[in-house]
A and B are shown apart, each in its own frame.
Chain A
Amino acid sequence: MTPSMTRRGFLGLAGLTTLAACSAPTGTRPGSSGATAAAADKLTKLAPTYIAFAGVKPDLAGTVSNLPGVPGIAGGFTTYPASPTAALTQKAGKGGSYKAMTPLWGPPPPGLSSNSYFQAVNADIGATVEFQIADGNTYADKAIARLASGDLPDIFALPSWEIDKMADFNTAVDKAFEDLTPYLQGDKVKPYPLLANLPTASWEWSVWNGKLMAVPYPTEPFPYGLLYRKDLFEKNGWNQNPKTADELYQLGKTITDAKAKRWAFGDIHEMAWPIFGVPQDWRYAGGKLVNKYETPEFEEMLAWMRKLFAEGLIHPNVASSKGANEKDLIGAGQITIYRDGFGGWKELLQQHTGKNPDFAMGVFPLFAHDGGTPIMYHNNAAGMFTFIKKGLPKEKMEEILSILNWCAAPYGTKEYELSNFGIKGKHFTLDAKGIPQTTDLGRKEVAYTYGFLGGRPLFVDWPFPEAAKANIEWQNTSFQYIEKTPFDGIRIQRPSKYAGLQVPTEDKFTDIMRGRRPVSDAKQIAAEWRRDGGDEAREFYMKVLRDNGRA
C-alpha cells in the first residue's frame, strides 16, 4: 500500500477542512532542551588524578593514542597469569544492599537467590548487589521508561549509544543522578585506586553540564569491523582481502547460494559508511559544516547497499526481522560476513569452538570503495557509563564507589577472575595451557554483570591466543586510518532535537536501501532532515567550532 494521498487531501476527505485550513504553527516545536560543549582540556580539572595500577603487563603491544579524544589500544594477552594477585586488601563493601541495572546480550542467568556466582561475588565484595538485567538490544526502551518514571536502581549502567538517542538526557542526568565531582575530583579519588587507574580521557567523557556524573567504561578505538568466517573462507578459497567495494560485492555473489541456505552478508551497512568515505558525523570544509547525510558519498553508499539487498546477498532473516540473531546464523554458516564489535568475535569463538574445533573468525583489512586510502570511525573515550541514583546519603555513596572500585579491577587480578569467570573449580577450570574454560554451571550462572559497572583498562584478554593476536594486529594497522573529525577532543552533549532526529531520518534511508524508495529521494530526505532540526544543529556545531577557535 502506498500512502500516495497527501496530508491535505486526507484532511479534506475526513471532513477536517477546518484543521487543514488553520495556519501552520510557527516557532520551534516544544521539546528541545539545552546542549553544551566543552573542550576536553577544560574538563581535565574535573577528572580524577591518574594513578597507574601496578599489574601484569600485556605481551601483545598496543598503540598509544595521541589523537585528542581517541582512545588508545591497550594491548593484549596470549596467556593467563598462573596466580592472579588480589588488587584490594580490604573488603570493598560495608554490608549494604543495592540494586543495579545492566544490559546483557544473551539469556539472563538465574537470580541472586539461586545463583552461586552472584552469591560468591557479593560475599567477596562484602555487600549485596542485586542485578536487574535488561535485554541489551532494547535497553534504551527500558532505560528511558525507568528514567522517566523516576523509579531508578541505585546503580545504573547506560551505554553511550543509547544516551545518544535520548532527547532529554541533558536534563535527566541532573535530576536523576548524583554528582560524583565531590567524591572523585583530583586527589579525592585516592581511596579508590582502581578507579584512579582509568584513562583520564574516559573520565573527561563522563562530564555532563560541567559535573563529573559517572564512572566510565573505557573503550577500544574501533566501534566495529567486518568479520568473516575464516574457516569457511579457507575451505572454499574465497578472497580474504577484498580491496574495493566492487570486490566485496563480487565476493558476495560468489558466496551466496540460497539453495544451499548460504548468504554472504548479515547486516553490514554501518561498515559500508566508512568504506564509502562517509564522514563519521560532520565534515568541515571551506568554512562550512556538511552532515554525513548530505554528502554524495552517502548516496553512493545507499545505492551500493540497495544492490546487495536487491540481489539477495543479505540473509533474508536479517532483512525481515528485528534483531535477527546474526550470531546464530554466522555460527550455522548461513551468513559468512557481518559487522560487529570485537567483543562479538570473542563471544562467537566461546560459543562455537567447543562444538566445532575448526571454527575461526577473521576481520577484513580496511579498504576504501575505490581502492584509495581507507578511513575508519572511532569510538569516544568511554563507551558506557555507570551512574549512581541521586539523593543517597554520603556513606552509601562511598560504599557504592568502593564497590565500583572493586568492579574496576584489571586483568590478572583475583577480583577480575572472580567477576569474569566465577569460582575456580566450580564455574571454570584451567585447561592444559592454563587458560580458563567455563564449566556447565559457569555457562548457566556467570553473566557479564559486575564487569559493566564501570570499566577497566581494556586489554584484549581472550582465551584464544591466535584470535587475540589477529585482533591486536588489525587494530594497530588500522589506527593510522582513523578519520579526524572536526570535533575531536571536544565533549559535546548533542542538542536533543538533533538526537531525536536520528531514528526517523535513518528509517527513511533504510527505505532506500531496501528498494522501497528511489535513490534520488536521498536529497529530499536530507532536505527534510535540515528542515526538522538539522540546520539548527549545524548552527550549534558551528558555534562549537568557533568557540574552540577551530572555525
Chain B
Amino acid sequence: MAAPDHLAVERSTDAGPAGSPAVPGRPGTTRRRAQERAKHGSLRSRFRRDWQLLLMTVPAIGLLLLFHYVPLLGNVIAFQDYSPYVGIKDSPWVGMSNFQWLMFDESFWDATINTLSITTFQLIFYFPLPILLAILLDSVVRPRLRLFIQGIVYMPHFFSWVLVVTLFQQMFGGAGLLAQILRDHGFSGVDIMTNPDTFILLVTAETVWKDAGWGTIIFLAALAAINPHLYEAAAVDGASRWRRLWHITLPGLRPVFVLLLILRLGDALNVGFEQFFLQRDAVGRDAAEVLDTFMYWRTLLTGEWSYGAAAGLVKGVAGLILILIANKVAHRFGEQGIYKRS
C-alpha cells in the first residue's frame, strides 16, 4: 500500500468540481463498465488492448518473484535438521519434529503471548490516535500553520529506533532528565526504562511518539476526498460540528479505517524487531521477548536455523488466517476489505 502523494493531503480550499465520487471508496461507474466489458472480451483481445499496462508490471512482478517467492522455497528447512554448511540438499529430513518441539517450547508461547498482548494493547491505545490527530490537523484552517505542525509530527518517523530509545532513555532513564529533576527536588529518582511491569506502556508511548504523526497521512488523504458540499449542505440544514463529524467525517473515513484494521490484524504477530531487541536486556526476556526477537535468538545466535524457520512459518500461517478472517468479516459488514473476488 503506497502512501499517497503528500500533496494530495492538502484539501483544495475551493469547492471540488462535480464528478468527484459521491461516496469515497465505491468504484465509479466507468470502472464498473470497463470490468463488464473485460469479462466479455477474449483473452487475446484483452491482451492486445492491455499489453502496455502488463509490460509496466513486469519489473514489479520480477522483484516480487525474486525477493519474495523464491526465498519462500527456503521454508523447507523447517522440515529438516538444516545446517547451512551442509546445504538444503544434504540436510536430513525430520518431518514435523521442529514443529512438535515448538509447540512444547514455553519460551515460544511466552513470546507469542507477549506479542499478542502488545498488539491488542496498541490496537486500542495507538491505532485510533492517528485518526484523532488527522481530524484535528484537518480542522486547522491556516495552511502555513498546518504544514508546520505536519512537519513536526512527521519527523520522528524518520528517526531510527536506536535514536528513539536513546531519547527516551535520556528523558526517563534512571540517569535521565526526569529522574534527575525529581532527585533535585528531594524525591527518589524513577527508572521507567527498566521496569518490566510498565514496559507495554513504554513501548506504546514510544510508538505513538514515533509514528502517530506519520499515520495521519492516509487519513488526511481520506478526509480530503470527502466532498465539501456535504459539509456545506449539512451546515445549511443546521447540523452542529459534532453532528457533521459523526454523520459525514467518520463515515467517510470508514473504508480506510477498515482497510488498515485488516492489514493490522494480519500483522498481529509482527510488532517490530529493533524496538524490542534494543530494550530486551533492560526489562528482561519475560516482558520484552516477542516472536521476532525469539526467532533471532533462536536462529542467528545459536544456529538453530530449522527451528527458527518453523517458528517463522507458524507465524506466517497464523497471520494469513487472521487476514482472511478479518477480510471476510469486513465483507459481512458491507465494506470493501483489502480484496474482493470479482
Contact = CB atoms under 8 A, between A and B. Distances in A.
Given A7-B104, A150-B84, A171-B86, A321 B165 contact: yes
B86 to A, nearest CB: 7
A365 B284 CA distance: 33
B107 A504 contact: yes
Contact of B97 (A11, A25, A315, A507): A25
Contacts of B80: 30
A166 B281 contact: no
B94 interface: yes
Given A259-B183, A504-B107, A167 B300 contact: no
A494 interface: no
Interface string A1-42: 111010100110000000110101100011101000000000
Nearest to A261: B175
29 contacts: A3-B113, A3-B114, A7-B104, A19-B103, A22-B100, A30-B94, A30-B101, A31-B304, A144-B300, A144-B301, A148-B305, A165-B302, A166-B303, A167-B304, A168-B84, A169-B303, A171-B85, A315-B175, A316-B179, A316-B194, A317-B173, A320-B194, A322-B280, A500-B303, A507-B285, A514-B284, A516-B196, A516-B283, A516-B284
B179 A176 contact: no
B234 interface: no
Contact of A258 (B101, B113, B189, B301): B189
Interface string B105-148: 01101101110010000000000000000000000000000000
Contact of B85 (A145, A168, A317, A516): A168
A514 B300 CA distance: 26
Given A322-B278, A516-B286, A317 B169 contact: yes
B228 interface: no
B46 to A, nearest CB: 43
A25 B102 CA distance: 10
Contacts of B183: 258-259
A545 B191 CA distance: 48
B212 interface: no
A31 B307 contact: yes
B206 interface: no
Nearest to A259: B183
B278 A31 contact: no
Dominant secondary structure of chain B at its interface with chain A? helix
- Could you say which interface size class chain B belongs to? 35 or more
Given A148-B305, A165-B302, A514-B284, A31 B85 contact: no
Contact of A10 (B113, B197, B199, B277): B113
Contacts of B173: 316-317, 320-321
B174 A167 contact: no
A514 B280 CA distance: 13
Nearest to A176: B85
A175 interface: yes
Interface residues of A, number: 58
A511 interface: yes
Interface in B49-87: 80-81, 83-86
B98 interface: yes
| The 10 residue pairs across chains A and B that have the minimum distance between CB atoms | A316-B174, A30-B81, A167-B303, A500-B302, A148-B84, A175-B85, A320-B282, A25-B100, A320-B193, A168-B303
A334 interface: yes
A175 B90 CA distance: 13
A150 to B, nearest CB: 7
B84 A149 contact: yes
B85 A496 contact: no
Which of A10, A141, A259, A516 is the most central at the interface, judged by chain B CB atoms within 10 Å of its CB? A516
Dominant secondary structure of chain A at its interface with chain B? helix
A503 B296 CA distance: 12
Nearest to B113: A3
Contacts of B282: 319-322
Nearest to A172: B85
Given A25-B104, A30-B97, A312-B174, A3 B300 contact: no
Interface in B192-211: 193-194, 196-197, 199-200
Interface string A152-192: 00000000000001111101101110000000000000000
Contacts of B81: 30-31
A147 interface: yes
A315 B175 CA distance: 8
B109 A10 contact: yes
A510 interface: yes
Nearest to A316: B174
B85 A316 contact: no
Contacts of B114: 1, 3
B14 interface: no
A205 B279 CA distance: 36
B169 A144 contact: no
A1 B285 CA distance: 11
A312 B188 CA distance: 11
A514 B301 contact: no
A7 B306 CA distance: 22
B270 interface: no
A420 B281 CA distance: 35
Contact of B306 (A2, A31, A144, A514): A31
